[in-house]
Amino acid sequence: MRPLDIQSIGSELAIKWADGREDFIALEKLRRACPCAGCKGEIDILGNLYKNPEKPYAANAFELVKLVSVGGYALQPVWADGHNTGIYSFEYLRQFGL
């Protein structure tokens, strides 16, 4: 499922989907669910999980600077604190509205 329109409105990301559904996702929720290896971790062949140590979020961690399109399948948010390694597939974003 592809989005027809995506806009940052205040503290939310508004997504209008091709099937007519509209989702409003809190930017804080989106940032805390960052799927990058540093935030969520990655598992090696032996099943060991590796990720960055937990640390408090900066005051501007939930401010969206811009969204970068990744191919035809995902978005990469750039946050005001400089974090930009999370790639959110459209399928992943769609789950936030459920």
The bridge status of strand 3-9 relative to strand 88-89 is: unpaired
Quote the pTM value.
0.89
Residues 63/80, Cβ–Cβ less than 8 Å = yes
pLDDT at 98: 67
Q: Is the pLDDT score of 13 beyond 90?
A: yes
Helices (H) then strands (E): counts for the chain: 3, 8
Q: What is the pLDDT of residues 70-92, one digit of tens each?
A: 999 999 999 999 999 999 999 99
Domains of the chain, start order? 3-96 (3.30.2020.30)
